[in-house]
Structure 1
Amino acid sequence: MPEESTMHDHRKLGRELGLFDTDPLIGAGLPYWLPDGAIVRHSLEEYVRGLERRAGYRHVHSPVLGKRELYEISGHWSHYRDDMYPPMNVGGEQLVLRPSLCPHHALIYRSRGHSYRELPLRIAELGGMYRAELSGVLGGLSRVRAIQLNDAHIFCTPGQIEAEAAAALSLIRQAYDALGISVARYRLSLPGAGGKYVAGDWDRAAGILRSVLDDSGLDYDAAEGEAAFYGPKIDVQITDSAGRESSLSTVQVDFHQPEQFGLEYVGPDAAKHRPVMVHRSIIGSVERAMAQLIEVHGGAFPGWLAPVQLRLLPVSEAELPYAQGILDRCGDLRAEIASQGSLGARIREGRLVPYQAVIGPQEAAAEQLSLRLRDGRRLDAEPADEALARIQAAVRVPWPRSASRAPVSGFPEPPSR
């Protein structure tokens, strides 16, 4: 596997670079984020939220707990119980750490009346969920017990399903291009034999997703037994440094939960109709996405994700005041001064930083910066303000240039009491 030979094991590299770590007192499968890792993670989350806003999504927040009854209605309790944490008895009720966000989003939809004119209604959340994974399958960031999921649910009419699923798949591909993530393959995940799946219109849902894949011109494989218990899905597969394959992003069609929760909208005929839920995740879990980014980029993240974007290297203490003045002018640019140790050692320590600026007496006197790129190139000295402006332009978040903002549907006001 020649491509994979260039990848890095995120479990080792992530710790060496001070991005994340674990502690036995916190527990297996529960990593914590160090400052540099938190910066990359927050930048990733902000990018996804911005991408979703531009695509017409509204963001919500929901609790990580729910009553056992909620998951009995959704079907998770009967079909997914082995992967859930046991209920907690609180005040005569049984509360459960949620294994998924979709039941909460169904209730958010149900909290207000809806007209067909509002649909599709796209709601998104970067929310926590929890899986009772066995110790033997846990690994670094790829398989964890506390998951921050980039999740969204599109409530739409039956006639809107295909367009919304296609738009979700397009959004995933845009994000992968910006992040530098390669797709190993696309998989159409279908139900298999046994009682793992709910009854429903599986052929219709699978046919819609098959059409989306066919119309996109993407090669894909169909796999029985890989569907969610409530519906078929498109899985976007990636590989890690050891060649292991996993799902990162998904698009799913769900007729089951709208029925279970009694979701409705008023159609043009003034009658009540049942919406369809399209589940989709652009980057899947933040943890698994971060693992992939560490392995693909080897810690040399794209400039807009890098924990430090500019490193200032004063040659001696005499240049420290000038370096501090530059730092004060950096604004939102993530910059730092490295002044301890030999210049050569400091340059090597910052080898993964997109831009380093060596500041000697000549640069300080002329109010210039001499930039070094992490690929080894050195740029001619230029006025400091021009250099900072060029760096800021280079590390801007890569929003899609051609994408126009999608219309955003709003929630109607609740009835007055």
Structure 2
Amino acid sequence: MNAMHDVKHDAMHDVKHDHRKLGRELDLFDTDPLMGAGLPYWLPEGAAVRHTLEEYVRDLERRAGYRHVYSPVLGKRELYEISGHWAHYSDDMFPPMDLGGEQVVLRPSLCPHHALMYRSRSHSYRELPLRIAELGGMYRSELSGVLGGLTRVRAIQLNDGHVFCTLDQVADEARAALELIREAYAALGIRAARYRLSLAGAGGKYVADPEMWQRAAALLTEVLDASGVEYEAVEGEAAFYGPKIDVQIADGAGREATLSTVQVDFHQPARFDLHYIGPDGAKHRPVMVHRALIGSMERAVAHLIERHGGAFPAWLAPVQLTLLPLTDAEYPRAEALARRCLDQGLRAEVRGPEHGTLAARVRAARLVPYQAVIGPREAAAGEVALRLRDGRRPATLPEAEALARIGAVVAARGTGLWGEDEGERGGAGARA
């Protein structure tokens, strides 16, 4: 089955899943007019998904040599004048706020802050590539008519990162970023709809430096060709300061959106006068490689809701194990097991007889990866009878063995449910 056929098949599967509807039904997120359009809030179930996703991407970046930082969501207007955002991007920024004789702005991007961090210390060529990453907030003044659910919002939590490197390191760093995107997509069960080389178009939206654009585009073309992915070049979709690789995803209706990006930037290192000391003892200009492995938390979670129909991979699910005592007599045993899950880092809940018949509780927990039925025999023996979300029923296991098996699947961050099938999708075809 080729990639395009897979994408079409996924779109047909996802067409019945609207993240706005499903996200509210599953108590993942919601909105309130008093907070304002494009400013959703995350409920405990959704916050659990987001937190797990954030921890995953931080770990992925850490293992790839990134160091994490924090930077403020405000900056002086002058900062964005230097970076070029004020001249080329101000229509998408919130108005400046007067503060003590200065004007400060909610940032539309994290890269100027990271450029200042780099500039704050001297650097030798031996330190490069220097990789920094941040899960940070940024703000876009989107018109209310284009806002919707988690896909188009005004407050964005971005998985951003910047690599400061020498010119001869750019291609390797951009290629490595593309590989990290692929690794994350595999763990999350995401398929790219297509890869796009986004180039400058006509008009004053873009920095006027033809030589810079040509060099950056040539480097990204080299990366795409070496990676062996099919892509198309599209004019008019670049960032104002340089071309980029956009990894496109599609929803159930076939609408495309950009989730992940890799960009090559010669512009901001020059604007901020960044440099490093080379082996010759002289100052040299680094190149910035921008990359977002899974884009914004909002758009990533929206796509995951639709992609999996709410049946997230076990490691990402807001509740990983539902404990189902048959009667009130087994309730203490179920609560004790839930506490044991908590101690082992698993997210568990108890749904007792007050929630209805066993059949009703099984149906209500149909999206939870694992259900553990605890009757008199299991309670007495310290065992659980597991039901997997995909309909399988493994043999009754001792509690410790069942939790160890589930913990191993969760720790592997795969898409399977029972260890031997990590290549399978845990989210599709769920049935009670």
Give the TM-score normalised by structure 2.
Answer: 0.91
1:308 maps to a residue whose letter is V
2:232 maps to 1:212: no
Is the contact made by 2:10 and 2:252 (CA closer than 8 Å) also made in structure 1?
A: no
Secondary structure of the residue aligned to 1:203 is helix
Structure 2: any 5+ residue segments left out of the alignment? Answer: 1-7, 415-432
Structure 1's consecutive aligned runs of 4 or more residues displaced over 4 angstroms after TM superposition are none
Is the contact made by 1:363 and 1:370 (CA closer than 8 Å) also made in structure 2?
A: yes
2:22 maps to 1:13: yes
Please give the alpha-carbon distance, in whole angstroms, between the structure 2 residues aligned to 1:58 and 1:328.
34
Please give the alpha-carbon distance, in whole angstroms, between the structure 1 residues aligned to 2:412 and 2:299.
21
Other-structure match for 1:336: 349
1:233 maps to a residue whose letter is K
Deviations 1:89-132 (A, max 9, x none): 01000000000000000000000000000000000000000000
Please give the alpha-carbon distance, in whole angstroms, between the structure 2 residues aligned to 1:326 and 1:163.
48
Q: Offset of 1:263 from its aligned partner?
A: 0.4
Other-structure match for 2:380: 365
2:197 maps to 1:183: no
1:170 pairs, out of 179, 183, 187, with 179
Secondary structure of the residue aligned to 2:411 is coil
2:292 pairs, out of 281, 286, 307, with 281
Other-structure match for 2:410: 395
Pairwise CA RMSD = 0.9
Aligned residues: 399
1:194 pairs, out of 190, 203, 207, with 203
Please give the alpha-carbon distance, in whole angstroms, between the structure 2 residues aligned to 1:244 and 1:35.
29
Is the contact made by 1:151 and 1:279 (CA closer than 8 Å) also made in structure 2?
A: yes
Is the contact made by 1:47 and 1:397 (CA closer than 8 Å) also made in structure 2?
A: no
Q: Offset of 1:336 from its aligned partner?
A: 1.2
Q: Offset of 1:5 from its aligned partner?
A: 2.3
Q: Offset of 1:168 from its aligned partner?
A: 0.4
2:70 pairs, out of 57, 61, 67, with 61
2:319 maps to 1:308: yes
Other-structure match for 1:94: 103
1:282 maps to a residue whose letter is L
1:4 pairs, out of 2, 11, 15, with 11
Other-structure match for 2:421: none
Larger relative contact order (CA 8 Å, sep ≥ 6)? 1
1:259 maps to a residue whose letter is A
Q: Offset of 1:325 from its aligned partner?
A: 2.0
Other-structure match for 2:424: none
Please give the alpha-carbon distance, in whole angstroms, between the structure 2 residues aligned to 1:202 and 1:322.
65
Please give the alpha-carbon distance, in whole angstroms, between the structure 1 residues aligned to 2:69 and 2:38.
26
Q: Offset of 1:397 from its aligned partner?
A: 4.6
Other-structure match for 2:425: none
Structure 1: any 5+ residue segments left out of the alignment? Answer: 400-417
Question: Whose helix fraction is larger, Structure 1's or Structure 2's?
Answer: 2
1:236 maps to a residue whose letter is V
Please give the alpha-carbon distance, in whole angstroms, between the structure 2 residues aligned to 1:221 and 1:344.
51
2:349 maps to a residue whose letter is E
Secondary structure of the residue aligned to 1:152 is strand
Q: Offset of 1:2 from its aligned partner?
A: 4.4
Please give the alpha-carbon distance, in whole angstroms, between the structure 1 residues aligned to 2:9 and 2:252.
11
2:328 pairs, out of 314, 317, 321, with 317
Q: Offset of 1:283 from its aligned partner?
A: 0.4
Percent identity for Structure 1 against Structure 2:
73
Secondary structure of the residue aligned to 2:190 is coil
Please give the alpha-carbon distance, in whole angstroms, between the structure 1 residues aligned to 2:226 and 2:365.
45
2:61 maps to 1:52: yes
Please give the alpha-carbon distance, in whole angstroms, between the structure 2 residues aligned to 1:324 and 1:192.
61
Secondary structure of the residue aligned to 1:114 is coil
Please give the alpha-carbon distance, in whole angstroms, between the structure 2 residues aligned to 1:78 and 1:237.
27
Secondary structure of the residue aligned to 1:371 is strand
Please give the alpha-carbon distance, in whole angstroms, between the structure 2 residues aligned to 1:365 and 1:101.
56
